[in-house]
Structure formats: C-alpha cells, structure tokens
Chains A and B, each alone.
Chain A
Amino acid sequence: MSAVTEARPEKIPGDPFFPKLPRKKGGLNEAHGRWAVYLIAPAIILLVIVIGYPVVSAIIMSFQKDAGLDKATGLFVEGGFAGFSNYTHWLLQQCVSSTGAVSACPPGNLGAQFWNAFGVTFFFTAVTVVLETVIGVWMAIIMNRTFRGRALVRAAILIPWAIPTAVTAKLWYFIFAYNGILNSVLGTKILWTSDEWASKFAIIIADTWKTTPFMALLILAGLQLIPAEVYEAGKMDGASTIQQFFRLTLPLVRPALLVAILFRVLDALRIYDLPAILTGGGGGSGNATTTLSILVVDQIRQGFNSASALSTITFLIIFAVAFIFVRFLGANVVQTQSNQQKGVLK
C-alpha cells in the first residue's frame, strides 16, 4: 500500500499523464494548475451558487428591517435599513417598536428565547459529545479486539447510523411514550417528552444512541493505525492495562479522536431533527429543548430579516467553535482523515 501512495504525482519528473502541456517556464505545476482549475471550477461554481448566494443574501437581509404594520398609521410598511437592530434583538433581547423606540422584548417574544436556546444547544452539545466520546472509545476498543462474532458487532453498529434521524426521533418518541416500553421496563411514570429535564435527557439519550456508532467507527479507524509492537513493548516494560490505555492508546489515538470530536461538535451545534420531532421543538415548559436551529425555523414565518440575523449568529458561533478546535487543539482534519483511509482500506 505504501508503495502505491508514494507513486502520487508530486515528484514524478515526466508525469506521463500530462506530458506535453508544460511548454512555458512554470513547468509541471503550472500545467497541472491549469488543468486543476478546469476540473475543480464546476464544483466550486455550483457550491458558490447553492451556499455562497444564500449566505451573502442572509447577511444582507439581516441588516434590513422586517416589514410590518406601522401602528401609528396602520399601514403595511417595508422595512428599510435596520443597522444592527436585528442582531441586538437576539443578543440583547431588544425589541424595536413601530415608533422606533427600543425596549426589552416581552417574555413571549422569540427574541427573549435566544440565550435560552444558546444554553440548550451548548448543553446538548457538551453532554452528548462527552457521552459519545467515552462510549465510542469503549466500543472502538472492543471492536479492535479479536474475538468470535466481531463481524456481527461491526455490522450491528452500523444500524443506528443507517436509520434516518427523523425515523429515529419517531422510534424514540414511541419508546418514551407515557405507556411506552421504557416506563414499563423502568417501572416509572416519567413524562419523557414534556417534562423540563426528562425531555432534555430524552433528546440526549436518542442522540447518543444514533451517533455513538459513528464516533466509534472514526475512533476505531484511528486505533487500527497503532502497531501491535507498541503494546508488546508496553507489556515488556510492565505497563498495566489501565496504564497502557492512558499512556499508549490515548496519546496515539489523539489526532483521530480530536477529528471525530470536531465533527460531532459541529454536528451537535446545528441539531434540529431530533428535538423538532421527538419533543415537538419545545419539550418541557415549551422551550426546554428549543435549540438555535429550531429558533431560526420558528422565526422564519415571523420575519425573514430577523431570522437571517439569527441564522448568521448561529453560523458564526459554529465557525468560531471550529476555528478554536483547529487553531488551538491542532485538529489536522485533512491529514488525519487520509491516514485513516489508508488504515481502513488495508
């Protein structure tokens, strides 16, 4: 496998695939560059249309006032330039009345729910990612061992991943029903989808079930890259199983683990399907499971421009978290991914 990898075109002087192109001084790279532009341009242009355009128009919209009734005149008025008022609406819970006066948003207003949704989203993210990492590492270690029926475990682990999240939500909605199997088995009468804390944990349990296998697979791919000799040496030096885990396994699997955690964190921060279906968006007290994504969707029909500001804030939060991961924790995504690919395909 390694011989194949080294045959990549980077240093082949007479790459036969594009031999006659480099007539100018720039040589191979320049010729490759021109080809690369032709080959990549269609995909990039399409992405600019389907992602770039909506993002830019969302940012422009977020600085426009939402259209609405002018209370003074009773007429329907178009918005006009809003400055940062859509952002302060969410971040500082400031509502602008039709006369232009700025005041604190009333409790029923969606603007008042921003910090609650922010807290709920980060609570879900922190708890699910920690749970999924710990259980995922455990599952990966088991699957990395040799035993009868290992293939069965590796097949079973793909099932939660293969089920659509919307179906997962409905499935757990049934399991969490008041007369459902979970309350029967536990002998409890918990209102899993409408109690304040129970509804939060319902989301966490369902999400952990659905996504831990994915974590386990990413971590397993990292574990498989650790050569057996490392453990042989560890054993010879008298390391206990626990020492082996903390001194050998964990440091060596760290890059794969960080990438897996990064993916999961970014995914968890935009969580929508599960709380939207499992607890109808609200859960206990109406907003115990309202995440940022749900708040955006709730807001859309009440005003595009204000919703755009909220979706831009959400996007910036996710971007900031990704930046922190890559910058400070050194999650080298591209490199780790390609290493794992080699390991898995072996």
Chain B
Amino acid sequence: MTIAASRAGTADRDRAVATTRVKAKKSNAPMVRTIISAIIIVLWCIAPFYWMIVTAFRDVGFTYDTTPWPTHVTLDNFATAFSTNLGNHLGQAMLNSLFIGATVTVVALLFGISAAYALARLEFKGKSIVAGLILAASMFPGVALITPLFQLFTNIGWMGTYQALIIPSISFVLPLTVYTLTAFLREMPWDLEEAARIDGCTRVQAFFRVIFPLAAPAVFTTAILAFISSWNEYLISSQLSSDATQPVTVAIAGFAGSQPHVEPYTAVMAAGTIVTIPLVILVLIFQRRIVAGLTAGGVKG
C-alpha cells in the first residue's frame, strides 16, 4: 500500500525522468552504483532495528550470540518486560504514554486548528511575527522549562502527577501542531468553498461540508506527528514523573532484569520492540503524508 502510494505520488517525476533513463541505458554503471548505494542506505537504517528484534526473541543466556539470524528463540524476554514483580511496569507505562500522548494531542489540536486556520487563510498585520514566534517556540530547549517547573510542581504538590507531564509537553507539541497544520491548510482548495457558497451553502455549511472533509487527512497527519513527539519525550518526564505515572521512555531507560546486577539487554530489547513496532507500522502506513508533514513542520526527530 505504501509502495503504491509513493509510486503514485512520484508518477509525474518518473515520467519526466523516463526520457533521461532511455539515454542512461547505454551504460549500466551509474544504475549499478545507485542500487549499491540504496542497499547501503537500507542496511544502515534497518540493521540496528533488526538487531533489536532478533535480540528481543533470544534466550537471555545467549545475549551476546552474534548469529545474524534468530537463534534460541523465546518469548521469556517479553514476560520479563511486563513483569511487575521485577519492578518493570511496562504495561502501566504504555497506558501512561497513551493517556499523556492522547491528551496532549487533543489539547494541541483544539487550540492549534483555529490558529493554523487564521495563519493559513487570513491576512492580518503581524502575521509573519506570529508565525515566527510559533516556530521559535517549537525550537525551544526543554531544559529552560524544567527548573522552574520542578520548583513550581514541588511547591503545589504536583510532582509525579499526569498534569505535571502533560502541561510541559504542550509547550513543544502545540507549536509543532500549529506550524504543520498551517502548512497543510495553506494548500487547501479554498475556491471550492467559495463555489459552495455560490451554490447556496451558508458560510458554516461550506466550511464543514467542503473544507473540513478535505482537511481531515491533514489534521490526522498532524495528530500522528503530535502524538509521536509526545510519546518520544524523555527529558521532562524523567524528572517530573513517578513510578506510577512514568511514560515508556522513562520506564525503558530504568529497566530491571531477571538477574540482579546484570544488565537485562534482552528484556530491554523486547520492551523497545513492543514500544517501537506500533510506531513503525503507523509511520509506514502513512508514510507519504508524514514525510510531507515533517518537511513542513521541520520537527525534531
């Protein structure tokens, strides 16, 4: 599906390049070089990820086995990862991350959509200043927020609560949301809305019947990017969360294994696999739109 989508997306260029390709057929050397480079890129990107998955399924006694394919396959590591007896609250942490991410995404969209609409659709004084401020806010360093928040939340007894994790996350997810959505909405076919008005729709009807369905994929893509950036947050959560509210990133960073004083590599790889696979699937399904959103918002990786 993703292959088809990206093929369709680049069909125009493929046709344009097809003419040059005929000439290139004379010599195969450049094409061979391109393919070899492509293979290197794919291996470079996938190899560490592959190694994580292979290790996740490997018996803990064979942690340092270097066989490149799965050997000593077991599911024990996943049991260890979810074992609350060992102090690994991965299940709880995933629920926490899900809850924090969903809340942050919804809040960011609620506040972000109207702002993005204004930036994309309206002309007003100071528009570029507002756009610049929001971009600057998305580049804002998390450490500049952590100290005062640490003191504030300690004073009002919010340390380790969900709101103490949600509020700081809004600081980087909201600017990202506004920025990405603005770029998407700027490209909406607004003259369709005018056509609907001429056909007798009211202003509100025109927006909800014509523009809103067209904008839905853009909003959805922005929501995915917002959720991912919240899901990946570590710095602030590592300082402000408690055992009960910690998100997955913090949980994985402080993992315990089945044997004391032995780094539980296989269990950590199992936890990493569980946390990463849904993201990777999500990203691959919505590949084309996510790339469009990324290059528009220029968010941190």
CA distance A16 to B197 in the complex (A): 8
CA distance A242 to B68 in the complex (A): 38
A47 touches B301 (CB 8 A): no
CA distance A345 to B257 in the complex (A): 46
A40 touches B49 (CB 8 A): no
A61 touches B147 (CB 8 A): yes
Say if the beta carbon of B253 comes within 8 Å of chain A.
Answer: yes
A158 to B, closest residue via Cβ: B283
B191 to A, closest residue via Cβ: A7
Say if the beta carbon of A99 comes within 8 Å of chain B.
Answer: no
B41 touches A139 (CB 8 A): yes
In chain B between 1 and 30, which residues have their CB closer than 8 angstroms to a CB of chain A? 2-3, 6-7, 9-10, 12-14, 16-18, 20-21
Chain A residues in 8 Å Cβ range of B188: 4
A158 touches B290 (CB 8 A): yes
B139 touches A263 (CB 8 A): yes
A211 to chain B, nearest CB (A): 5
A147 touches B2 (CB 8 A): no
Say if the beta carbon of A25 comes within 8 Å of chain B.
Answer: no
Say if the beta carbon of A79 comes within 8 Å of chain B.
Answer: no
B21 touches A47 (CB 8 A): no
A343 to B, closest residue via Cβ: B295
A263 touches B121 (CB 8 A): no
A273 with B171, Cβ < 8 A, contacts A61-B148, A214-B301, A340-B296 known = no
B296 touches A266 (CB 8 A): no
B37 touches A293 (CB 8 A): no
B218 to chain A, nearest CB (A): 10
A177 touches B263 (CB 8 A): yes
CA distance A40 to B124 in the complex (A): 11
Say if the beta carbon of A188 comes within 8 Å of chain B.
Answer: no
B146 touches A300 (CB 8 A): yes
B45 touches A8 (CB 8 A): no
A216 to B, closest residue via Cβ: B41
B203 touches A272 (CB 8 A): no
CA distance A139 to B41 in the complex (A): 7
Chain A residues in 8 Å Cβ range of B46: 156, 159
Please classify how large the interface on chain B is, using the bins under 10, 10 to 19, 20 to 34, 35 or more: 35 or more
In chain A between 261 and 287, which residues have their CB closer than 8 angstroms to a CB of chain B? 263, 266-267, 269-270, 272-273, 276-277
Say if the beta carbon of B119 comes within 8 Å of chain A.
Answer: yes
CA distance A232 to B6 in the complex (A): 25
B49 touches A163 (CB 8 A): yes
Say if the beta carbon of A288 comes within 8 Å of chain B.
Answer: no
A270 with B228, Cβ < 8 A, contacts A40-B115, A162-B283, A224-B13 known = no
A311 touches B111 (CB 8 A): no
Chain B residues in 8 Å Cβ range of A162: 228, 276, 279-280, 282-283
Cross-interface CB contact of A32 among B13, B122, B130, B284, cutoff 8 Å:
B122
A266 with B139, Cβ < 8 A, contacts A151-B7, A218-B298 known = yes
B272 touches A334 (CB 8 A): no
Cross-interface CB contact of B38 among A35, A142, A158, cutoff 8 Å:
A142
Say if the beta carbon of A111 comes within 8 Å of chain B.
Answer: no
B141 touches A318 (CB 8 A): yes
In chain A between 284 and 316, which residues have their CB closer than 8 angstroms to a CB of chain B? 292-293, 296-297, 300, 304, 307-308, 311-312, 314-315
20 A-B pairs within 8 Å (CB atoms) are namely A16-B203, A44-B130, A46-B107, A47-B137, A50-B168, A57-B148, A155-B6, A162-B283, A163-B49, A165-B301, A167-B276, A174-B269, A177-B64, A217-B291, A218-B294, A232-B20, A312-B144, A315-B140, A337-B295, A344-B295
